[in-house]
């Protein structure tokens, strides 16, 4: 598939659609509670140093996603 990339490797400022989440039910459940689920379009705001969290935004919500979790979230980049 073209342009499938983990949240960690996405560039800041890019938009993308979540296509796959490689986590267990618990992780999916936590992500779902903040509206992060397969099919959702999100924007990566920034990434922190020292394997810190990735900040994503969708609508008016901003969330900090830990590095390990972010590695398991796969995104299809939307070309501007």
Partner 1 sequence: MKKILLMGNPNTGKSVVFNRLTGANVIISNYPGTTVDFTQGKMRIDEEEMMVIDVPGTYSLDAGDKAEEVAVRMLKGGDIVINVVDATNLEKSLNLTMQLIKKKKPMIIALNFWDETKHKGITIDFQKLEEMLGVPCVPICAVTGEGIKKLTERLKEAKFSKFDYEDKEKWHVIGDIIGQVQELSHHDHTFMERLGDISTIPVFGIPLALVILFFTFKIIRFIGEGLIGYVFEPVFEKLWTPLLLKLSAILGSDGIIHDILIGKLIEGKIDYGQSFGLLTTGLFVPIGAVLPYVFAFYVMLSVLEDCGYLPRLAVLVDGLMHRLGIHGLAIIPMMLGLGCNVPGILSTRILATRRERFIAVTLLSIAVPCAALQAMVVGLMGKHMVYGLGVVYGTLFVVWLVLGILMAHLVSGTSPEIFMEIPPYRRPYLTHLLKKTWIRTKWFIKEAIPFVLLGVFIVNILYTLGIIQFVGKYTAPVISGIFGLPKEAIGALLVGFLRKDVAVGMLAPLALNLKQLIIASIVLTMYFPCIATFSTLVKELGFVDMLKASAIMIAAVLIVGGMLNLIL
Interacting residue ranges for partner 1, rule: CB under 8 A: 12, 26, 29-35, 37, 45-53, 55, 57, 59-69
CA distance 45 to 63: 10
Q: Of 1 and 49, which CB lies nearer to partner 1 in the complex structure? A: 49
**Which tokens is 67 given?**
């590095």
Least distance to partner 1 from the beta carbon of 5, Å? 20
Least distance to partner 1 from the beta carbon of 6, Å? 15
| H-type alpha helices, the chain | 25-33, 67-71
**Dihedrals φ, ψ of 67, to 5°?**
-55, -50
Least distance to partner 1 from the beta carbon of 39, Å? 8
């Amino acid at each position: 598939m073209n342009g499938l990339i983990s949240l960690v490797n996405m560039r800041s400022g890019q938009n993308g659609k979540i296509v796959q989440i490689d986590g267990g039910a618990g992780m999916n459940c936590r992500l779902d509670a903040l509206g992060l689920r397969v099919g959702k379009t999100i924007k990566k705001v920034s990434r922190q140093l020292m394997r810190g969290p990735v900040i994503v935004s969708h609508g008016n919500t901003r969330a900090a996603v830990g590095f390990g979790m972010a590695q398991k979230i796969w995104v299809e980049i939307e070309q501007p």
